[in-house]
Structure 1
Amino acid sequence: MKGRSLDDLLASASNCPICMELNEVLRGHECELHDLGEGATIPFDVHLVSQYLMPQTIEVFPRTSSARDRSEDSLHHWNKDWSELLRNPELGRYNIRQYIERKPSSTEYSVYRGMRSCFEKCLAAHRICRADTDRLWLPTRLIDVQKMKLKPSAKISLIGDRRYVALGHQWGTIPFFTLERDNLDILSNSGIRLPDLRRTFIDAIEVTRQLGVRYLWIDSLCIIQGEKGQSEWHREAASMAQVYRNAIVTLAASNATSVYEGFFGKSQNAWLNVVTPLGNSQGLNLLLSKGLQKPLDRRAWVLQEHLLSPRTIHFGDPVTWECREMTVKQTCDSLSILPSFSTPKVWTAGLRRRDCLGLWKQLVAKYSDCLLTVPSDKLVAIGGLARIFFGVLKCDYLAGIWRERVVEDLLWETASSKAARVGRYRAPSWSWASIEGGIKFQSFPQRYTLLAEILDARIDPAESDPFGEVRNGHLLVNARLLPLGAFDGRASKTLIHSDDFLRVSLDGLPSTQDGRLYLLPLVKLDTEDQYWSLLLKERESNFGPAVPEYQRLGVVTTFLKRGCSSLLTKRNLENPLWWPKVFYPRDVGPGDTARAFKEEDFKGGHTQKVRLV
């Protein structure tokens, strides 16, 4: 059974007697599911679990018990049963790919054991999950969870077990214990005291031990923090892609909003309904869960952590194992194993050039709507992914945009009514990284014509990393430049205007200082008289009046009919709040009023060099 909506889900089950029975159950809960289907903001998962596959020999250890008190025989027996189920994916009367571990819902050790079984299965049998990793590469420092000391990677033997676990989490706003230059020697020689650590770090140490791995990487404890002159952050940020790509597994504190909450401290109440058992399906249970976005998923850094890590354990609601070949979700009292054909991790095992540019735009659209504690990290937090793409594309990386299709990729627009350009310089105005808020790219048809040529493109990195922060940058473009009206500050508060002839998408609310506006045509759609252009304003140039500079303000789409657009009505021109009047062209004279767009405004004629900053 599968589908984007409840109707699709039910229709896909028409040839299966068991699924037909599930139809009746789902129909009975249709009112509850109405807001979770197609077009809704919250998807839902349907889990089928079989009572026949429940191992009955699992001993549950309470959280308060110590590792020494646990029975190794019982743990071995449990792993044997669980491993047998994993080796036989077609076990079960109805060939349902679901496997169960019975446990009290309040016990965390059963989660640890279930995740360890998934971990061992993946290491033993998943070839794709081992691709593109470097066993010899290590971060600068790691935490030795056996000795509880900070250890330089240079002192870890090349012969022994060099595997390490990485942690993905939100810091929160309350200060906590971190690595500083003043305590580096203490943590390396005397060791790390557990009372100094917050709940998320303690949970990460416990899970690392449960998985049988010796080393753990936590950013705030393995990278020296502090003021810019003392911190290692800018140097270490360049290796973030390597950290997560080469970790044996990443632990994601998905529900926690700070390091004080831990892996199990907060629930999102994801379970919508439980029906158990189904009437005629002989031991099948039906469980419905809401696919809620986890707090960690809103964090910008987590995108590359998630995509680059070959394996991730999401400590959310439910706890989920995800690798390139398998997904395991812990439902209310069970584990459900599903194939991972649609997991976003799959592409990292073999990124192909023909897919790169489209995939990059999808990732940027998702990333741009995420949150950053430090706004200047906008380009840094996606820099690890950019490095991976650069290895395939082999072309210039221009503050979030690739040189190979730079003209087309300049035509992004804001996707949120709250979008705004950041006050402090973060990227050139033509880069999506200069905007706070979600963005989206234009979807190009098969046939279109470029109306502009990029003559030069320069980016000046703030540090040595070309994929990190930038100090400044420019594009030198050869194209037509159309003078428009002058903005006087009186405007509607909406960012998007659309009518039959004109669509204007602003990057943020106009400023009273924006003054005269200009249009820079970039693309014409060959199938219709439609032109896509950048909206610009002139700014004072650092190179004098001979080389004028322009900043981007938004994107304008012009629709022509019979070679021209409709002229504005006198009523609209007299309305002081109807600001699209300023987006129609003027002739060069100072007293010129708005006129209709003409085909010759975009095609042929005089072009000039325009410097975009």
Structure 2
Amino acid sequence: MMETACATCTGLQKHLKKPLQDHGPEPPGSVRWVNTTLAHLRASSGTCRGCALLLQGILLHYGRFANIKEDQIRVTAETFHSATNASQDHLSVELRWKPHEDDCDDMSDHDHEEGYPDLKLEFFTDQDGQSSFSAIGRGRHIITDALQDTGIQTIHSMIRQCKANHSLCRDSKPDFMPHRLLDLSVGDPSIGIVLREFAADANMRQAAHEYLALSYRWGIGRGMPQTTSKLLKAYKTNIAWDTLPKAFQEAVLLTKSLGFRFLWIDSLCVVQDDPSDAIRTSLELNDIYGNSSLTIASTSAAEPAKGLFTPKIQTFKVQANDSNGSISKVYIREQPSHYSFKKPSDVGSPINNWELLSDASKEANARTPLLTRAWAYSERLLSPRVLHFTDSEMLLECREAFQCECGRIDDASFDPRKTDTVKQDFARCAALSDTNGHRRMDSVVFQLAATSLSDGTDDLPAAPANPLELWSYIVTEYTARNVTYDTDRLMAIAGVAKTLSRAINAGYIAGHWTSSTLGLLWYPNEGGQCRRPKQVAGRNVPSWSWASVEGSPISFDNLSAMDLACSASFSINVSQKTFSPFSGDVIELRAAMATEVAFHEDALNEYSLSRNGISVEFQPDIIPLRGEDIIKSGETLVCALVSMSFRSSILGLVLKKSRTKTPTYRRIGRFECYECLKDGSDEEPEDAEALFEHWFPDVDDMTQLDERPRHVFKIL
């Protein structure tokens, strides 16, 4: 007797699979079984066991879409063919209900294929199990308790694989060790742990070269133990177990279970009321995390009280019956999406066009709150290996790759989006020597003075990645993350800068590398959310530094189509190797093309600059203008041009003269001109290049800019 295939799911039986017109085209490397609405699946479930199983698994997650009409929820189900992951052939079920760009009212298949699904489930059996439905194959179970033997074995296996296969991750024998570490050698954890200072305990220095570090989110910090000057002596004797928050306790137990004796936790290993100890630690952060055997990351916990091992997303077990009455077990869970470690799209991009992870969804940030913190971002980059504990699984992120419990994070068969590579790029740059790795940013400035900005820009090759460009990307990601105290902004990234200093081979002052004038062309992405940070005695954050603006991710203009003969130098007596990460002084800007312009407020929070009857739009660093940034309409500012970009625009700095005896200036914003407007005219705007003849009529030969006298500005 012939079997009749269900028109909705083909019975989830491979031997019955045949192309069904309403399923639509199948993605490459996969077999599609279902492409319908949840309402239609419900109707079909009355006569088909396969559809009934799918509906049952979906409704176990009903809370995710309870307020959505079922005919607005699109359901697809696929199995994948992976050349690298033969141990998994689960059924992937995706639900989409949120509108995407260009969606049509008829909910066409194409519209709902776009974007990452709103809910992604997997149906699977045990590794040696048999399913009543041949479309549902094997999957990997995720460990619910990392401290059990299977959890410890999994962690050891990940670390062994990393050390065996990755040259950048192999352990070295550094001379460095942290000033303080927590000694976990007390036999009974209920007695507590001990804080060791190794400068005063030389006999233990050799034993403490292998240690773990903890990366966690402080949260409100209420009730969290902190080493202070008064408690330091007592903590050297004992830190009571019951004073430790859950995350610290679990980190201690995990460290001991992995066979390590020492652990570094900042709140206990740094004297919190000693500013000098905090500064020393921030300057050693690259060594503290860089030499740890493993950094444990409480990635899904909002605060230490929530613990290190946050509850996992539930896995459901159901019984499935086939037409012969045979029963089998099928597991259903929300599929680990790795969204906090993936690029927002699946479009590959060259190394100099990194996609920002900070553009992750609100849901992703809520599920991995540690990744929204600036300190944690630096700790993650500096560590050879970071073991992330999330609400879905454990992930090991090292200097060359990712590993995860489900085994799919880098398998394009299951998810075409690329994993974030910035840690890997950072590790490669850090390994470069001064002679082989140094490639100044200025070397990629092309002299195209005789070429129109609109000529051939689409065919220009992507500039090769270099440490300065990587630094700019890191600052953008870093400034998109939160930091509690203004004073920490430059402190938390000092270790990253110190690590890159060999590759960049330049001085570093207040977040800026002295070899790059283009680095001064930073700008806040969201000026309307910005403010100036509080100044602290002894730490001057100059206006030319990106750290002088809080509240927005900072972006950079690193590539120039033409250098407009502008350079910057430090007027204070500094050497090429100066490393002043927390403070800066006056810089001297020397520009061949600089002119006075009139500032105008055209409407609420809308501004322009004008000269000789020609105006251009302008966005100050701080909007609305306030404090030292207040500018009256009609006030005179200075515009110093720096470069021309591949975006067919002209770039420069806008400066305001300070009220001081000696002529000094403060940066007000970055200037970018795309087009020029004639004041009071309805004529079409002119291209950016017209600005030269209107604002700089005395410059008759752009190829001779290097021969022109320089305007000199001292910028505070």
- Count of aligned positions: 522
Supply the AA of the counterpart residue of 1:117. H
Determine if the alignment matches structure 1 residue 31 to structure 2 residue 130: no
Tell me the CA shift for residue 244 of structure 1.
0.6
Tell me the CA shift for residue 550 of structure 1.
0.9
Tell me which residue corresponds to 1:324. 399
Tell me the CA shift for residue 442 of structure 1.
4.4
Tell me which residue corresponds to 1:483. 596
Correspondence list, 1:217-296, <5 A: 217-228=264-275, 232-265=277-310, 287-290=334-337, 291=339, 292-293=364-365, 294-296=368-370
Determine if the alignment matches structure 1 residue 608 to structure 2 residue 716: no
Supply the AA of the counterpart residue of 2:548. S
> Judging changes above 3 Å, is the alpha-carbon distance between structure 1 residues 227 and 350 closer, same or farther for their aligned structure 2 residues?
closer
Tell me which residue corresponds to 2:53. none
Determine if the alignment matches structure 1 residue 139 to structure 2 residue 178: yes
Tell me the CA shift for residue 119 of structure 1.
4.5
**Residues 194 and 235 of structure 2 are in contact (CA less than 8 Å); yes or no, is this contact kept in structure 1?**
yes
**Residues 253 and 262 of structure 1 are in contact (CA less than 8 Å); yes or no, is this contact kept in structure 2?**
yes
> Judging changes above 3 Å, is the alpha-carbon distance between structure 1 residues 502 and 48 closer, same or farther for their aligned structure 2 residues?
farther
* Two-structure CA RMSD over aligned residues (Å): 4.7
Greater RCO, CA 8 A, separation 6+? 1
Q: Deviations over 1:214-240 (max 9, x none)?
A: 110011111112154xx6111222101
Determine if the alignment matches structure 1 residue 537 to structure 2 residue 627: no
Supply the AA of the counterpart residue of 1:470. S
Tell me the CA shift for residue 434 of structure 1.
0.5
> Judging changes above 3 Å, is the alpha-carbon distance between structure 1 residues 300 and 514 closer, same or farther for their aligned structure 2 residues?
same
Q: Deviations over 1:273-328 (max 9, x none)?
A: 99999x9xx99978544521221112111112111111111122223222235533
Q: Distance in 2 between matches of 1:449 and 1:41?
A: 40
> Judging changes above 3 Å, is the alpha-carbon distance between structure 1 residues 264 and 444 closer, same or farther for their aligned structure 2 residues?
closer
> Judging changes above 3 Å, is the alpha-carbon distance between structure 1 residues 203 and 42 closer, same or farther for their aligned structure 2 residues?
farther
Determine if the alignment matches structure 1 residue 215 to structure 2 residue 262: yes
Determine if the alignment matches structure 1 residue 454 to structure 2 residue 564: no
Tell me which residue corresponds to 1:16. 29
Tell me which residue corresponds to 2:374. 300
**Residues 386 and 396 of structure 2 are in contact (CA less than 8 Å); yes or no, is this contact kept in structure 1?**
yes
Supply the AA of the counterpart residue of 2:525. A
Tell me which residue corresponds to 1:201. 248
> Judging changes above 3 Å, is the alpha-carbon distance between structure 1 residues 28 and 109 closer, same or farther for their aligned structure 2 residues?
closer
Q: Distance in 1 between matches of 2:121 and 2:408?
A: 7
Determine if the alignment matches structure 1 residue 433 to structure 2 residue 537: no
Tell me which residue corresponds to 2:665. 550
Question: What TM-score comes out, normalization by structure 1 length?
Answer: 0.72
**Residues 537 and 550 of structure 1 are in contact (CA less than 8 Å); yes or no, is this contact kept in structure 2?**
yes
More deviation in 216-225 or 106-115? 106-115
Q: Distance in 2 between matches of 1:445 and 1:221?
A: 44
Q: Distance in 2 between matches of 1:43 and 1:501?
A: 46
Identity of aligned residues (%): 21
**Residues 255 and 295 of structure 1 are in contact (CA less than 8 Å); yes or no, is this contact kept in structure 2?**
yes
**Residues 254 and 316 of structure 1 are in contact (CA less than 8 Å); yes or no, is this contact kept in structure 2?**
yes
Supply the AA of the counterpart residue of 1:142. L
Q: Distance in 2 between matches of 1:158 and 1:246?
A: 14
Tell me the CA shift for residue 369 of structure 1.
1.6
More deviation in 512-521 or 14-23? 14-23
Tell me the CA shift for residue 196 of structure 1.
1.6
Supply the AA of the counterpart residue of 2:29. C
> Judging changes above 3 Å, is the alpha-carbon distance between structure 1 residues 211 and 287 closer, same or farther for their aligned structure 2 residues?
same
Q: Distance in 2 between matches of 1:140 and 1:475?
A: 39
**Residues 653 and 669 of structure 2 are in contact (CA less than 8 Å); yes or no, is this contact kept in structure 1?**
yes
**Residues 597 and 609 of structure 2 are in contact (CA less than 8 Å); yes or no, is this contact kept in structure 1?**
no
Determine if the alignment matches structure 1 residue 474 to structure 2 residue 587: yes
> Judging changes above 3 Å, is the alpha-carbon distance between structure 1 residues 438 and 275 closer, same or farther for their aligned structure 2 residues?
farther
**Residues 459 and 470 of structure 1 are in contact (CA less than 8 Å); yes or no, is this contact kept in structure 2?**
no
Q: Distance in 2 between matches of 1:219 and 1:12?
A: 54
- Structure 2, unmatched stretches of 5+, are 1-22, 36-74, 79-91, 102-110, 187-192, 323-328, 340-363, 412-417, 440-465, 684-689
Correspondence list, 1:106-145, <5 A: 109=148, 112-113=151-152, 115-122=154-161, 125-131=164-170, 133-145=172-184
> Judging changes above 3 Å, is the alpha-carbon distance between structure 1 residues 531 and 490 closer, same or farther for their aligned structure 2 residues?
closer
* Structure 2 counterpart SS, 1:191: coil
Q: Distance in 1 between matches of 2:26 and 2:318?
A: 18
Tell me which residue corresponds to 1:80. none
Q: Distance in 1 between matches of 2:256 and 2:148?
A: 12
> Judging changes above 3 Å, is the alpha-carbon distance between structure 1 residues 550 and 358 closer, same or farther for their aligned structure 2 residues?
same
Supply the AA of the counterpart residue of 1:368. T
Q: Distance in 2 between matches of 1:335 and 1:102?
A: 10
Q: Distance in 1 between matches of 2:370 and 2:284?
A: 21
* Structure 1 counterpart SS, 2:579: coil
Tell me the CA shift for residue 418 of structure 1.
0.7
Tell me the CA shift for residue 350 of structure 1.
2.6
Tell me which residue corresponds to 2:423. 345
Tell me the CA shift for residue 432 of structure 1.
0.6
- Structure 1, unmatched stretches of 5+, are 1-9, 57-92, 573-584, 587-594
